[in-house]
A and B are shown apart, each in its own frame.
Chain A
Amino acid sequence: MAQYFSYEFIAIFMFVTMLVMMFTGQRVFGAIGFVSAAAALLLWGDGGIEMPYTAAWKLFKWYPMLTLPLFIYMGFMISESGIANDLYKMFHVYFGGVRGGLAIGTIGMMVAISAMNGLSVAGMAIGATIALPEMLRRNYDKRMITGVVQAGSSLGILIPPSVVLVLYGMIARQPVSKLWLAGVFPGLLMATLFILYIYIRCRLQPELGPVLPEKERNIPFREKIILLKAGIIPFLIFFFMTGLFLMGIASLVECSAVGALCATLAAYFKKKLNYKVTEATVRKTLGVSCMFMWIILAALCFGAVFDGIGAVKAIEHLFIERWHLTPWGVLIMMQLSYILMGMFLDDTAMLVIVAPLYVPLIISLGFDPIWYGVLYTITCQIAYMTPPFGYNLFLMRAMAPKEITLRDIYSSIIPFVLVMCLGLAIVMIFPEIATWLPEKLLSK
């Protein structure tokens, strides 16, 4: 095949075939795996047949991937055992007096959960099972709070620890410690923007988020202080996991294991660690880990084929020589292409396939790859909640209370996606928001 068609044509053909395959509803890893295996065979004959399996050995050497099952385990342990329920109660009481306060408190809780978790799964589970029913009962607008939970839980991949940034670090060959630190302020900025949005919206339309009744808020000062105890567990877990890693005491994979152990111990001391919780946690961890690992495995093969036909050079040629884009033009094109592709392609697969093409170009144009990692992650957050293909949408559909319809879920995200685009623009214009902290702490 290679001698008859140009490589550009083959690359585009592969991409289109993959997108068509996605529409058939075959499992994502199966669709990507088929296209890459078939392309390898057509391009290189018998020599290409081992490419899918070779990808497994590349993945074997990606030692930091061990953080994936451990962070997933941690997230499920926290949500299944209910050790985060107190956290909700704390924010509930402290913010209940403000208009839209419970929604603001939910964002606060999501920040705390994100600091214990590398994905958005735990935040979604806790948000949909605890925060949503509570807020519905108090007549909060269902569209707004559905958006709050989805947007808030997506902070999980930006605020350290973050599995997405681990994967990016491996592909772009950048230190994970720097990437994690770079995610801190953009994550907090994003949370602040969400809170501002909720606050202003509820000022203008008070019926969206009514103030809690007096008697629910008026609890003795002593009890209010005791409620603060709910913050201890997240703080300890954050310290033992991310803290020890950033101080250079634990290695990256070790810190994820220590974190998983801490979550298990926390469940034990709260007397929530029984067979039912353990079984559900372990089973769901296997399911989600396998899903991610098989997608990465198939996408690695796809990437290897792309690499074999010189797609990096082709993209550079297209952007710079054919379209005469400026560096910023290239950057914006890349973000747009992510959002566009993110609609049809799973985000993990997109990272594995596209980042190796983009990152060398980003570096050669003089941009900071650490900052770019943060931009990518924010784009990924947006992709997580935009239809038709978003993990948070999937999870929301599976977990939301009955009165929340599919329409509500889809329309709930619109304002939050706009807020996130604003956040993305701010981090693009002021790169220091991301790069200041790692430079301050790690360049000594």
Chain B
Amino acid sequence: MPKLITQYVKIIDLICTKVGRITMYGVYLMMFILVLSFVTRNIINFPLMWIIEMAQFTMTAYYFLGGAYSMQMGDHVRMDLFYGNLSERGKAKMDIFTSAFLLFYLVTLLIGSVSSLIYTIETKQKLFTAWAPYVWPIKVLMLTGILLMLLQTLSILFKDMAKLKGRKIN
């Protein structure tokens, strides 16, 4: 494999791992926000108006930014009735072929997210709630997540191609 590609795989895998391993602690942020909501609403009777939106933002960022890392760890289920019986090489071949479909989906997501972000910035869009936060920060995070997944998919594709040539990038 050309050096450029091995470099790419190393760097992208590293970035996705780092981002994912930070994001995974986001579950504590969600827990904190919602327990805080429980306490302020019921015990000290001082409801906070940013709770719902903040929790929604955290959740969305959580699964978008964690997506690439979860793909790297192989956490996404596959129907393996047929696929499961393939050899390692067979799996790599099949993955190279079907990654085109995954890339297609991720690219449409990316196009949608870019045009949505541009619209949001041009119109200074806010959420229609009492707190009315700006929408662009979460859209930037979503765009980042989709982009990372796209880059991770390519990295996995390169690794599969290397596997076919009997080599391993790591």
Contacts and interface: CB of A to CB of B under 8 A. Distances in A.
Interface of A: 21-31, 33-34, 37-38, 41, 49-54, 56, 59-61, 63, 65-66, 69-70, 73, 249-251, 253-254, 256-258, 260-261, 282-283, 285-291, 293-294, 298, 344, 346, 387-389, 391, 394
A235 B142 CA distance: 39
Say which size band chain B's interface belongs to: 35 or more
Contacts of B106: 33
B133 interface: no
B102 A30 contact: yes
Given A250-B42, A282-B24, A49 B76 contact: no
B5 interface: no
A291 B77 contact: yes
A326 B106 CA distance: 43
B91 interface: yes
Contacts of A60: 56, 60
Given A25-B78, A256-B34, A257-B31, A30 B63 contact: no
Contact of B76 (A27, A54, A251): A27
Contact of B34 (A25, A61, A257, A282): A257
The 4 closest A-B pairs by CB, nearest first: A25-B83, A53-B112, A287-B75, A257-B34
A66 B55 contact: yes
Nearest to B77: A28
B111 A286 contact: no
A188 to B, nearest CB: 29
Contact of A294 (B21, B76, B86): B76
Contact of A73 (B27, B69, B76, B101): B27
B122 interface: no
A289 B34 contact: no
B13 to A, nearest CB: 16
B116 A53 contact: yes
A275 to B, nearest CB: 12
B59 A66 contact: yes
Contacts of B37: 251, 254, 257
Nearest to B112: A53
B63 A294 contact: yes
B1 to A, nearest CB: 23
B82 to A, nearest CB: 5
Contacts of B94: 24-25
B23 A52 contact: no
Interface in B125-147: 142
Nearest to A22: B79
Interface in B66-121: 66-67, 69-71, 73, 75-84, 86, 91, 94-95, 97-99, 101-102, 104-106, 108-109, 111-113, 115-116
Nearest to A38: B104
Interface in B19-55: 20-21, 23-25, 27-28, 30-31, 33-35, 37-38, 41-42, 52, 55
Contacts of A251: 37-38
B112 A51 contact: yes
Contacts of B95: 25-26
A41 B91 CA distance: 29
B105 A37 contact: yes
Contacts of A289: 27, 62-63, 66
Contact of B79 (A28, A49, A260): A28
B38 A257 contact: yes
B80 A25 contact: yes
Task: Point out which of A22, A25, A288, A290 has the most chain B C-beta atoms below 10 A from its C-beta.
Answer: A290
A50 B115 CA distance: 8
Interface of B: 20-21, 23-25, 27-28, 30-31, 33-35, 37-38, 41-42, 52, 55-56, 59-60, 62-64, 66-67, 69-71, 73, 75-84, 86, 91, 94-95, 97-99, 101-102, 104-106, 108-109, 111-113, 115-116, 142
30 contacts: A23-B82, A24-B83, A25-B80, A25-B86, A25-B95, A26-B98, A27-B76, A27-B102, A28-B76, A28-B77, A30-B101, A30-B102, A34-B105, A37-B108, A38-B104, A52-B108, A53-B109, A53-B112, A60-B60, A63-B55, A69-B30, A70-B27, A70-B34, A253-B34, A260-B31, A282-B24, A282-B25, A289-B63, A290-B69, A344-B79
A387 B79 CA distance: 10
A285 B101 CA distance: 27
Contacts of A387: 81
A66 B59 CA distance: 7
B105 A27 contact: no
Contact of B112 (A50, A65, A293, A391): A50
Given A31-B101, A290-B70, A391-B77, 16 more contacts: A28-B76, A28-B79, A37-B108, A51-B112, A52-B109, A53-B108, A56-B60, A65-B59, A66-B59, A250-B38, A251-B38, A254-B34, A254-B35, A254-B41, A289-B62, A294-B63
Contacts of A61: 56
A283 B24 contact: yes
A288 B75 contact: yes
Given A30-B105, A34-B105, A391-B77, A24 B42 contact: no
Given A33-B105, A50-B112, A290-B75, A24 B98 contact: yes
B63 A27 contact: no
Contact of A49 (B21, B30, B112): B112
B101 A49 contact: no
Contacts of A257: 30-31, 33-35, 37-38
Given A38-B104, A54-B112, A298-B105, A253 B55 contact: yes
